[in-house]
A and B are shown apart, each in its own frame.
Chain A
């Protein structure tokens, strides 16, 4: 078994940011593994802008390269084409790559394994099994990394940020977006973006509509949709893109027996991003499928403090569960200690126009926070200004969402 100080699994924004910060703090032998042949994670195939900072805007691929260079420049080893297969011990992993199998042990492990969109089968969309069925992840790689032909007429399922990115990719590939389809009553993106797609690019948006069947043998010939009022229609198309509906890639967390959060289905973590197993941390979209690359990178930088404390021999403080009540779907982090300072991200199933978040523990009011909006599939944020009021020996802390 080869020993390193910190082993990071996943070289996306979260993992690379963690490695960069740890290496810069003077930790020797920080190693980042990525199973893809290129490090950088999802931004590698997000050809659009929106990455980096206001002063230094970058495209996804530029941002991916920037993060890899930063981690390497700080002294971390970034090894692409290496898969972490399973646990070989509490803080050790079986890996394999072109150089063969290896067991790598560490004093701390950081899981940054990311998230994926649920494909057609997982969404139980009936019908035939034709070619031309994509997720955004596959579509973006096909178009931006491999220059593959994707068809001529595409229906995009979803109307959140990633759906609009998928629609842009369809157009970049020279195909037409026949329609965007969402079962919600409104698009879940910035109003300007939704308007731009509808009016300037002429993409019809079908709200309150679900996909009920895929049609066609060999190649997709259309999708059948049903409006909430019962009307049905067939949209002729040769390509369909299932967007959003992200789930964490939690295989390693599960195989390691880490406690998962029932809401996020990612590993349960406290505000220092410590999982249920001492010495194992988690960052990025595996915690909350999905947030922006910037949020992931911020967590990567944030986890470094707790990892450094762990390397210095500190014990982890006791955390109490943090639960999100309906209509909230989940909250991350989802354990809390009085020392936690990382802001929280949440998701709601209901759209509220004048939303307020309430934080309580054992019936005791800890905090109340007004939000500007709460929309499904979009980030809801909660500050960590209240955590010092948490009783570490008390019951679970609950977060509820109401309309003012």
Chain B
């Protein structure tokens, strides 16, 4: 690492009165990736501003956790390009940073005549999106690949490039690296109003005013609101809720690939996919809503998922559910990302980043950096970032309890607190002392998996809370 000192991570108190060069609004996966990209330029003073008490608290934490190839994007769209580029960048970054990725591949399973007919068209689309290794497989081979699939599957399109990834570690890695290279991360800092005077943006936040010469809007679900505050009326975010069920680790052996539905006129459908933590996901629903806070699950949604799941993989429904969650996708009226620079206003909008945002994040960040340069911002000299090494939450890689050398050096890694997920006291201690520490037990769960298992805290909940409260003093 050269130059920079750690930027502060603040959750309360007044904000610095000096003027930043750039403020990035929204510390989701996209905003954090942009802040990380800007951290390459030590001369820039960058603030990453987030309404919630942690990074990755919006759509970034509640999605299907897939590293896409972009095979089904609209060919020629910005999204298609950034997903394609981003997938390669993120796969590389994940390997370097210890973000768990499993290249399990996807199968688009056709269950009826209409879906069967759609498969060759999807293969052609994949081809146009430079995803050239897809292959149609017949029913016999499909059941050989996925013996627990429910009866009635006709054929499938195999997309070997699709992977599963840890979305929480990804956002956290970006934010950690950004902060370590001098980006200031201000949490609990909802932007209530934005104005611009004397070539300076003034963000009126819950914690006071924050000034910056340039503004990047990565506010996700709220990107349209901020955009309008700056006088633009380019798009409207309609939150599309996706409810998901997470099944226990004992279900993991049932499924080998990401089992994608074939998109039809009736919608995108429901998938079954393994997670890097060794669980199985069933979801999402797709409900267009108006409320940007409606992350609650509903009886109807869960019933629908169970009905669909029973068809795709009947045995899955016999397993215990360990979690139910709902995320909101930042859908807009357009079928593409809405990324645009307004040089006269020293402002860049990064809107309409839908479920592919995780995959595309690094490419979006690079694209936004280019836009800034093109708009006339001198970023100054660039430096390499010191690599980060994130704690491994994935089952495909050795966890601390599986590493004798680590336990010999520090017995705390052999002292398990959360038994379902086998999280050691050492990992909890590390997370509590990390660069971007958790604000609460949910944040601690996303950093360690503590309390995320089948017992949901029956055994370890109180012990984990005690460790958290002790660290907070």
Contacts and interface: CB of A to CB of B under 8 A. Distances in A.
Given A97-B415, A131-B440, A122 B302 contact: no
Interface string B300-312: 0110000000000
B404 interface: yes
Contact of B407 (A100, A126, A212, A213): A100
A144 B293 CA distance: 36
Given A122-B322, A217-B293, A116 B298 contact: no
Contacts of B469: 148
A207 interface: no
Contact of A146 (B320, B441, B454, B466): B466
A293 interface: no
Given A96-B401, A146-B465, A122 B416 contact: no
Interface in A28-86: 35-37, 81, 83, 85
A117 interface: yes
Nearest to B243: A126
B396 to A, nearest CB: 16
Contact of B295 (A96, A100, A128, A135): A128
A354 B117 CA distance: 61
Contacts of B295: 128-129
B414 interface: yes
A141 interface: yes
Contacts of A100: 404, 407-408, 411, 414
Contacts, number: 114
Interface string B420-456: 0010000000000000000011100000000000111
Chain B: number of interface residues, binned into ranges? 35 or more
B414 A99 contact: yes
A3 interface: no
B414 A126 contact: no
A138 B321 contact: no
Nearest to B246: A121
27 contacts: A35-B419, A83-B401, A83-B422, A96-B402, A96-B414, A98-B412, A99-B407, A101-B402, A117-B458, A121-B322, A121-B456, A126-B298, A126-B302, A128-B295, A129-B295, A129-B324, A131-B441, A135-B458, A137-B455, A138-B457, A138-B458, A141-B462, A141-B463, A145-B462, A146-B465, A148-B465, A148-B466
Given A85-B401, A120-B456, A122-B320, 20 more contacts: A35-B419, A83-B401, A83-B419, A96-B414, A99-B411, A100-B414, A116-B454, A116-B455, A119-B457, A121-B246, A121-B323, A122-B454, A124-B302, A126-B299, A128-B295, A138-B462, A141-B463, A146-B463, A148-B466, A251-B250
Interface of A: 35-37, 81, 83, 85, 96-101, 116-122, 124, 126-129, 131, 134-135, 137-138, 141-142, 145-146, 148, 212-213, 217, 247, 251, 254
Interface of B: 246, 250, 293, 295-299, 301-302, 320-325, 401-402, 404, 407-408, 411-412, 414-416, 419, 422, 440-442, 454-459, 461-463, 465-466, 469
